[in-house]
Every structure is written in structure tokens, then in C-alpha cells.
Amino acid sequence: MPSGVFAPASLGPITLRNRIIKAATFEGASPKGQVTDALVDYHVRVAAGGVGMSTVAYLAVAPEGRTGRGCIVLGQDTLEGLQRLTDAIHAEGAAAAAQIGHAGPVANPKSNRLPALAPSRHLSPMGTIAQAVTEADIARITADYEKGAAVAVAAGFDALEIHLGHNYLLSAFLSPKLNKRKDGWGGSLDNRARFARQVVQAVRRAAGDKVAVTAKLNMTDGVPGGLWLDESVEVARMLEADGCLDALELTGGSSLSNPMYLFRGEAPLEEFGATLPAPFQLGFKLLGKRFMPSYPFEEAFFLPYARQFRDALEMPLILLGGINRLETIEHAVALGFPFVAMARALLRQPDLVNKMQKGEATEGLCVHCNKCMPTIYSGTRCVLVPPSA
């Protein structure tokens, strides 16, 4: 057995049974915004399969911050269900993390029946308009994060992951492309990072000292004019200096403008187009390749960028991005990344970690066809696995 990978490891105030985390991937299993048996089963499978921690995604801090109506909002009406979910994960020996956030311009205002919000007024490629947030909105949303974090703690989550990526609201504030504000929340990097830092501090207040707090930070937006490494490294340094985080999970890409950047591999254009309402399907056929370009898949594709963060920071980092092989996990740990996060590989094989630990597998079966992506609307799954499996 490789030393270190399957040994207990500390993440701030908590200890995970190994260094492998189930990354946050929207489960598509809460159509009415409540915990369901399907959502519990989804996380029980990976918890029983051996991961150190399973991340529930994505829990909104406010109704307009949902990606759509199938997103759970942290509140008293969802607390009991979330407790049932964390109890089920804990029963399998894994820790439970809650990814919390505000979708901002990524939100679907038609589905939510509430306006989408952004740093500046924004028209998305899908034709939705996000309104610019006001000072009052910023104060309210910061308070929503603190209240939502308190609910997650009460629900029994061991860790809170703040979403600072993929051009969700806080990520959009960091982006020079999306943040065109002329006030104290825009312009310089210090100003653009102010909202994210304020939220991280609020979440830490709610979490106290017994729950881990991490953040999922974009290294690059993957779009021209967006956040790039020179600035994202500086944001990471600011977050480290603030002292509120126990780790950073490093990611990239834009759910608004370039979602394939955070997946890599073939773009499932036909399958994704089929999920859209009929009026949008023709337009997607014509413009889909621009919105979802294909990228060659490489194992641990974010590692070259992540190593620059490793060199610049002392705080623990979580490596993400197409991790499929045990050798890659060992290499990441040897390079100083105490944890790795896996997603697609565990959709194909929820028990992959157990198989690796027992010496029954050295790599996953995932072929990174990305046909799992469109299934978020009907229950996120690997389409290559028979339903009865």
C-alpha cells in the first residue's frame, strides 16, 4: 500500500481517513430543493466506497443564488434533510463537506423566478440578464453566507467549501472581464477581492474552530480578459494572510462562457443540446462549439498551474482536475498537495478508492467522454454504467 495516501490526514480541525475527497459535482437529485433519498444514496455510495470526505454540491445561501430551482437553499426548512444526509455519510466512515455559495450571473432567473445578480449588468451567452448588485445586496449576501454557514454547521457538516470559482458571484467579482464597477468593489485587485474576503471571514465566524473552512478558487477563468494566474495567486496570498481558511481547492473555467475548461476532453454537444428547450436547440447547434469547445484531456490537467500556487503559499492545497490514477495521487502528495479531489472517476466507480486501497485497481475506468455533464438535469450519473449497477 502506498504510504500516506490512505493514512489519516488533518484538514484544519478535522481528520479525514485518507487524502481523497469527492469533489463537488451538482447531483441533480433535489428537484424540489429538498434532500431526497436519491441525494442521500448518491453520497452514501462514494462514502461507502472509501473517500475521506464527500462534498455536497451545491448549497445556495439565498434563493436568487440558486443555479435553478433544483438547488437546495441553506435554511431551517432544509436543515432536517441535511442532517439526515450528513448522518448517512458519517455512518459510512467519511466526513461530509458542504459547498456553499451564490450563483450570481450563473443563476437561471427564469427557473428561480428571481433576478440574477452580477458585479455589473451582464448578458450571458444563454440570453439571461443579470442585474448589478447594490451595496445593500452585498451586505445582505454576506449575512446570508454567515447564516447559511451556521445552518450547515447545525446540520452536521464537518467542512464548508466556499465557492470562489467558475464565475459564480464571488468569482465574478474577481474577474476583470465581469467586474466593471467604479466603486470600492471594482477596479483594483484589492477592491475586486474585497467581497470574497469579507464572505470568507463571515463564514469562518459561523464555522467556529471545530469545522474546517476551505474555498474553491479559480486559478484562471479560461476566457480572454478574465482572471489569470498573476492575479489569482495574489488573491490566494490575501486569503492566506487573512487566516480564515484551512485549505484552498484550485480550479478554473467559467460556467458562463467556457464550461469545458474545467472538464477537458470531448464536449457532449448533442447530449447537452437535447436538454435545452426547443427554441434554443437550433441556436445551440449553430453556436454550441463556441460555447463548449473541446480540449485535449490530460491527467491532472490543472497541476502545472497549481504548482505555481504551491510555490507561492504555505497553506494546504487540494489538487483537482481529471485525477484518475493512483500514481497521480501519489505524485500530487509527493509534490506537497495534502489532498486530491476526484469527481468523474467516482461517478463511474463510487468504490474506486476502496479498490485502490485493496490493490484491486491502480486507475479508474472513466474515459472522460463527459456525457455525464448533461445528466445534471435528471440525476447526475455515468451513462456507461447500467442503471441497476
Question: How do residues 309-366 score in pLDDT, each as one tens digit?
Answer: 999 999 999 999 999 999 999 999 999 999 999 999 999 999 999 999 999 999 999 9
Give the C-alpha separation, 365 to 37, whole Å.
26
Q: How confident is the model at residue 299 (pLDDT cuts 50, 70, 90)?
A: very high
Print the SS3 string covering 43-57: HHHHHHCCCCEEEEE
Q: Are 339 and 321 in contact (CB under 8 A)?
A: no
Give the C-alpha separation, 227 to 173, whole Å.
10
Q: Which residues pair with 247 in a beta bridge?
A: 214
pLDDT at position 50 over 50 = yes
For residue 120, give the DSSP letter.
S
Give the C-alpha separation, 204 to 7, whole Å.
27
Give the C-alpha separation, 88 to 308, whole Å.
38
Q: Is residue 137 part of a domain?
A: yes
Q: Is residue 219 part of a domain?
A: yes
Please identify which residue in the block is written with the cell numbers 437535447: 274
81-138 tens-digit pLDDT: 999 999 999 999 999 999 999 999 999 999 999 999 999 998 876 677 899 999 999 9
| Mean pLDDT, rounded, of the chain | 93
Q: Is residue 185 part of a domain?
A: yes
Please identify which residue in the block is written with the cell numbers 475586486: 192
pLDDT at position 3 over 60 = no
Q: How confident is the model at residue 271 (pLDDT cuts 50, 70, 90)?
A: confident
Q: Is residue 385 part of a domain?
A: no
275: domain CATH number?
Answer: 3.20.20.70
196-213 tens-digit pLDDT: 999 999 999 999 999 999
Please identify which residue in the block is written with the cell numbers 486507475: 363
Q: Is residue 1 part of a domain?
A: no
Give the C-alpha separation, 208 to 150, whole Å.
9
- For residue 302, which of 251, 375, 229 has the smallest C-alpha distance? 251
Q: Are 7 and 328 in contact (CB under 8 A)?
A: no
120-131 burial code (b ≥16 CB/10 A, e <16): bebebeeebebb
pLDDT at site 94: 98
pLDDT at position 250 over 90 = yes
Q: Is residue 3 part of a domain?
A: no
What's the number of domains the chain is made of? 1
Q: Which domain holds residue 288?
A: 9-377
Active site residue 58: no
pLDDT at site 285: 66
pLDDT at site 286: 67
Choosing from 168, 295, 305, 377, the catalytic residue is: 168
Q: Is residue 386 part of a domain?
A: no
Letter for the amino acid at 380? T
The predicted model gives 17-42 an average pLDDT of 96
As to burial, measured by CB atoms within 10 angstroms (0-12 exposed, 13-18 middle, 19+ buried), residue 325 is: middle
Whole-model pTM?
A: 0.94
Going 24 to 269 to 121 to 191, the CA torsion angle's sign is positive
- For residue 79, which of 153, 25, 146 has the smallest C-alpha distance? 153
pLDDT at site 267: 86
Give the three cell numbers for residue 79.
436543515
- 220 φ, ψ to 5°? -150, 145
Please identify which residue in the block is written with the cell numbers 476526484: 342
State what percent of residues in the chain have pLDDT above 90.
Answer: 83
pLDDT at site 2: 42
Q: Is residue 121 part of a domain?
A: yes
Letter for the amino acid at 159? A
The predicted model gives 214-224 an average pLDDT of 97
